[in-house]
Amino acid sequence: MKATALLAVVLLAALSACTDTGDEPEPTATPSGLVWSDEFDGSGPVDEKSWNVATGNKEFDGWGNEELQYYTKDNLARDGAGHLAITAEHADPDAELPCWNGKNCAYTSGRITSEDKVSMQNGRAEVRMKVPAGVGLWPAFWMLGSGAEQWPNGGEIDVMEWVGNETRTVYGTVHGPGYFDDAGIQGEINLPADLSDDFHVFAVQKSPQRIQWQVDGKTFFEMTPDKLPEGKKWVFERPFYLLFNLAVGGPWPGNPTAATKFPATLLIDYARVYK
């Protein structure tokens, strides 16, 4: 979704390259240079200086994933306790909420993006959040390449994705030209307890020619140009902006079942960018 053009906060300080290139990357130290953050203090709507609120479904073809939620501005707000709450819930059956499948969307939820407002080229993007439990729920923290290039040519970095039928698994993925959708390059980590039990810190560290994914300070996945399929282009040497959403349904997470509890809320404690 295109928002009113505002001055982007582009972060150009590079990280030192990690010297370990083995199959199990070592944890990387958190940098100290905080350059932007949203602590989600207070209550009410998100800060318009940092965030755009996405709405709709049908006009975005189910957001490319046959998702069943209609995004609205009413499904996200600062909760007064230091969190951004993104809530998925049953939609009003009488509401006009057109979905990709020709029906009205059965659910509403929320999605925000920092496009044209906050972006990072090299550094660390970090979020602390708690995901909701339930089959068919699909919370994500991800990044898209800034600029006019059509997806996936500008690149996509999925910092954290979780699907409610795989309660202990976190996924990190890159998409680019010739390696997108099911061909995206993905890593994963299995945690000792259900992810929905507590808050966790998810981060990506991005330096020239290298991207690393972390959960609670542990590096679990790393991408460099030599890991791309032969002949494919590395498109990640550019600024990337931030996105958060709580999707419902689609082929990957599956559709909600009778056991899926609504409302379901993704709680974001903070979002931070370091140099």
- Catalytic residue numbers read 156, 161
Locate tokens 């970095």: which residue? 157
d(CA 8, CA 114): 9
Q: Is residue 224 a contact partner of residue 210, using CB atoms and an 8 Å limit?
A: yes
Nearest to 187 by CA among 164, 207, 163, 158: 158
Classify the phi-psi angles of 156: left when phi > 0, otherwise alpha if psi is within -120 to 50, otherwise beta: beta
d(CA 67, CA 41): 30
d(CA 172, CA 199): 18
> 107-109 and 69-71 as β-strands: parallel, antiparallel, unpaired?
parallel
d(CA 161, CA 138): 7
Paired tokens of 20: 């370990």
Nearest to 76 by CA among 48, 35, 36: 48
Q: Is residue 201 a contact partner of residue 216, using CB atoms and an 8 Å limit?
A: yes
Q: What angle do CA 153, 220, 260 make, to 5 degrees?
A: 80
